[in-house]
Amino acid sequence: MIPVECYFALSALLFFIGVYGFTTRRNLIAMLISVELVLNAVDINFAAINRLLYPEGMEGMFMTLFVIGVAAAESAVAIAIIINVYRKFKSDSVEAIQNMKR
Amino acid sequence: MFSYTIFIMLLPLLSFIVLGLAGMKMQHKVAGLIGTCSLGMVTILSYITAFQYFFGLDRVNGVYQTFVPYNFTWLPLGNLHFDLGILLDPISVMMLIVISTVSLMVHIYSFGYMHGEKGFQRYYAFLSLFTMSMLGLVLATNIFQMYMFWELVGVSSYLLIGFYYPLKPAIAASKKAFIVTRFADMFFLVGILTFGYFVDSFSFNFAGDIVMGQGTTPFIEGNLAKAVAAGGFIIPTALVLMFIGGAGKSAMFPLHIWLPDAMEGPTPVSALIHAATMVVAGVFQIARMFPLWIEYAPQAMSIVVWVGVITAFYAAAVACAQSDIKRVLAFSTISQIAFMMVALGVSLPGHHGAILDNHAQLGYMAGMFHLFTHAMFKACLFLGAGCIIHAVHSNEMALMGGLRKYMPITHITFLISCLAIAGIPFFSGFSSKDEIITACMEYSPVVGWIMTGIAAMTAFYMFRLYYGIFWGTENKEAHAHHTPHEAPLTMTIPLIVLTVITVGVGVYTTIAGFAEWGGSFGSFVSAAGTDYTIHFNIQIAATSTVIAILSICLATYIYKGEQQPIADRLYATFPKLHRAAYKRFYQDEIWQYVTHRIIFRLVSTPIAWFDRHVVDGTFNFLAWGANEAGESIRSWQSGDVRQYAVWFITGTVALTLILLCI
């Protein structure tokens, strides 16, 4: 059996890769992918902790499924936004949309 | 009973609203008719009220009862509440007659005087506003309502003095009138608040015997005993503070400075506001508070007496040297109002423990009587002056002279009013002035003789004015260029009506006074409210008549002729005195010096500095701080999503660490 620390290590690794990617990439699609990585890290945590602490329960598993569902919806919305941004600004760079603050 | 009295106040208010909102779209005639008709109805209602009050009701214990047909709470304030209502007692009913009569005459007169004037409708709207406020002032059920309407008459006076607003002097005069009277009213307000704080009531129900109408809010019983227990000086202090307000409104020395300048307004306005009604508000206020003055502050009344004496003398002296006919009349008004003040002040505490006593407080009746007669003949004089100004287009006596040929009606009415103000028997001024001098003699012979002397000066300067206008040297040059003519009928009818009142009242009261008939003025208005039969003291009556006739003869001797060698010689002998009197003994300059050099420089400038630097500085500092903080953190909102994410993560980590440490 794989020790639970390995799951946590993987989850932490994914989380920080996601954060790093979100803060450093300029491309909006790449940033979206980074966010998905962060979500996946959370999913792994849910599943692993459910298995570790309450093997007879299924709440963590269900939560994971919810997050996957929500992430799918979120990706759809985000991609729709990105397409609109691209049409408007002719660019998919995050720096191009700094004017959105106004 | 008396439920219709509410219309006395509502009708002028309604015509003010109608004329004020829709006046500009009306023809002059329509606007004037609306104002005059509503005032006519008010006059009829006032006369009905007076008739019913004085003749339709039985006296209770020989006293006219005080009725309050309307009273409702307008603003409750804990124990105290401010009421609005209508109070009818002998003096307020008497004032109703005075105000509505003079106001109606002025409304009719203004048709002629203001004919074709720009802003005719506005003029009538303001006249209605003024009449409403003045009626509200005299009908007030409590001192606070009186104060409200007191300020309203101040506003209407301001608006009407500044009626010719394109002219600089008119604006300056209206501002001066408003500021000076407001300054005095500040003391009035402090007096009211002092009174209300200690007495727990603003109402005029001092003796607790007022008859309330059905459905009215009952008065809170004033607790005068509590105020006296808190200190004997409280009620006198409050009354004197109120008197300062009254002195400002009634143009008592040294707060008189606004009244001569107020003559910049249209002449009918001077007749209504600055001669007959508004300026006697101070006298009315003292009469209203009279039971308190006589019971709690009899010593303080000497302030009223001496302020009155000084004002009467000062104004009479100045009136002798003025050349503008309206200014002469203005100073004569100040002097005559001072007579009323003196009359009220010389009332002595009653005999036999009676608080109100007709014989000891003859001055009360005399003051009210003079208020009544003076309103009629002084309004007539002002309206006559208006006719003259209308004819020669100037206020200066130098451009007049010899007008009796051109303006017979004005001449006769003016002469009769001059005889009345001079105090010749069978004219109304005689009866009232004689009672005032009698009351003064009883108070102290010194005051009595001073007032007799001032009465002589009155006769002198009024006849100087009369001869200067109607006799003397005719200014042929000016008259050839523009021949003076008699005023139209709308202007002469009010003169005739007022003269008829003056003569009618004068003849009746003179005969009644000598024959000791009842039914004269004292039967209706007297200190104790009981029927008081006026009887002249033959000695005093004879003395004052002889003195008045002598001063008229002196004025005739000096001013009647074409050449006036004596007057010229007097100018040559006392040039400085004449100049000082002409310049009103430099009162305006003194006030100018006091306000500009002392108050503005030593008080206002430091306060302004404090305001600019400390008060404004505090808020400017706060605004500057907020601005700087905003400037320094505005770069945080870069629009760069990744930067936000970094801040978000940093913040989360920091919060987590903080929570862990705790």
At B177-200, the pLDDT tens digits run 999 999 999 999 999 998 888 888
Rounded distance, CA B486 to CA B492, Å?
Answer: 9
Contact list, B638 vs chain A (CB under 8 Å):
98, 101
Q: Do the Cβ atoms of B639 and A101 come within 8 Å?
A: yes
Residue of A nearest to B636 (CA): A101
The alpha carbon of residue B592 and the mean position of all alpha carbons in its chain are separated, in whole angstroms, by 23
Question: Mean pLDDT, to the nearest integer, of B211-240?
Answer: 77
Condensed to tens digits (0 to 9), the pLDDT of residues B35-77 reads 999 999 999 999 999 999 888 887 887 788 888 888 888 888 7
Q: Do the Cβ atoms of B641 and A99 come within 8 Å?
A: no
Q: Do the Cβ atoms of B642 and A97 come within 8 Å?
A: no
* Phi, psi angle pair for B352, to nearest 5°: 55, 35
Q: Do the Cβ atoms of B642 and A31 come within 8 Å?
A: yes
Q: Do the Cβ atoms of B645 and A24 come within 8 Å?
A: no
Q: Do the Cβ atoms of B641 and A19 come within 8 Å?
A: no
Condensed to tens digits (0 to 9), the pLDDT of residues B390-426 reads 888 888 887 787 788 888 888 999 999 999 999 888 8
Q: pLDDT confidence of A44, banded at 50, 70, 90? A: very high
- Count Cβ neighbours within 10 Å for each residue of B550-569 and write b for 16 or more, e otherwise: ebbebbeebbeeeebeebee
Rounded distance, CA B653 to CA B661, Å?
Answer: 12
Find out whether B368 and B460 touch, Cβ atoms under 8 Å: no
Does the interface ipTM go beyond 0.85? no
Q: Does B627 touch chain A (CB under 8 A)?
A: no
**Residue B351: its pLDDT value, please?**
67
Q: Does B640 touch chain A (CB under 8 A)?
A: yes
Give CA separation, B52 vs B10, B42, B323, B522, B532, in Å: 20, 15, 46, 18, 20
CB atoms within 10 A of CB A10: 16
Q: What is the DSSP string of B174-242?
A: HHHHHHHHHHHHHHHHHHHHHHHHHHS--BS-SSS-PEEPTTPPPPPPP-HHHHHHH-TTHHHHHHHHH
The DSSP element (H or E) to which B92 belongs, if any, is helix B90-113
* Phi, psi angle pair for B68, to nearest 5°: -125, 90
B67-86 residues touching A, CB cutoff 8 A: none
Closest by CA to B53, choosing from B242, B216, B269, B211, is B211
Q: Does B649 touch chain A (CB under 8 A)?
A: yes
Q: Do the Cβ atoms of B642 and A98 come within 8 Å?
A: no
pLDDT at B597 over 70: yes
Rounded distance, CA B471 to CA B456, Å?
Answer: 21
Rounded distance, CA B126 to CA B132, Å?
Answer: 10
Q: Does B653 touch chain A (CB under 8 A)?
A: no
pLDDT at B469 over 90: no
The pair of three-digit structure tokens given for residue B170, joined into one six-digit string: 């008119």
Contact list, B642 vs chain A (CB under 8 Å):
22-25, 31, 94
Find out whether B126 and B37 touch, Cβ atoms under 8 Å: no
Contact list, B646 vs chain A (CB under 8 Å):
23
Q: Does B642 touch chain A (CB under 8 A)?
A: yes
Of A22, A99, A100, the CB nearest to B642: A22
Q: Does B637 touch chain A (CB under 8 A)?
A: yes
Contact list, B637 vs chain A (CB under 8 Å):
101
pLDDT at B354 over 70: no
Q: pLDDT confidence of B216, banded at 50, 70, 90? A: confident
Find out whether B91 and B368 touch, Cβ atoms under 8 Å: yes
**Residue A102: its pLDDT value, please?**
63
Rounded distance, CA B208 to CA B203, Å?
Answer: 10
Q: Do the Cβ atoms of A24 and B646 come within 8 Å?
A: no
Q: How many residues does chain B have?
A: 662
Rounded distance, CA B544 to CA B450, Å?
Answer: 12
Q: Which amino acid is at B216?
A: T
Closest by CA to B372, choosing from B436, B321, B424, B320, is B436
Of B639, B645, B646, the CB nearest to A98: B639
DSSP secondary structure code for residue B352 in this structure: T
Q: B637: which strand partners? A: none
Q: Do the Cβ atoms of A94 and B641 come within 8 Å?
A: yes
The DSSP element (H or E) to which A78 belongs, if any, is helix A59-89
DSSP secondary structure code for residue B353 in this structure: T
pTM of the predicted model, to two decimals? 0.80
Q: Does A100 touch chain B (CB under 8 A)?
A: yes
Condensed to tens digits (0 to 9), the pLDDT of residues B118-154 reads 888 899 999 999 999 999 999 998 899 999 999 999 9
* Phi, psi angle pair for B2, to nearest 5°: 60, 20
pLDDT at B510 over 80: yes
Q: Does A56 touch chain B (CB under 8 A)?
A: no
The pair of three-digit structure tokens given for residue B50, joined into one six-digit string: 């007076």
Residue of A nearest to B647 (CA): A23
Residue B549, C-beta contacts closer than 8 angstroms, at least 6 positions apart:
B424, B459
Optimal mutation site among B633, B636, B642, B643, interface A, most CBs of chain A within 10 A: B642
Closest by CA to B80, choosing from B171, B249, B194, is B194
Closest by CA to B424, choosing from B550, B553, B549, is B549
3-class secondary-structure state, position B382 = helix
**Residue A64: its pLDDT value, please?**
93
Contact list, A100 vs chain B (CB under 8 Å):
639
Give CA separation, B343 vs B379, B445, B552, in Å: 21, 14, 24
Q: pLDDT confidence of B352, banded at 50, 70, 90? A: low
Q: pLDDT confidence of B372, banded at 50, 70, 90? A: very high
* Phi, psi angle pair for B322, to nearest 5°: -80, 150
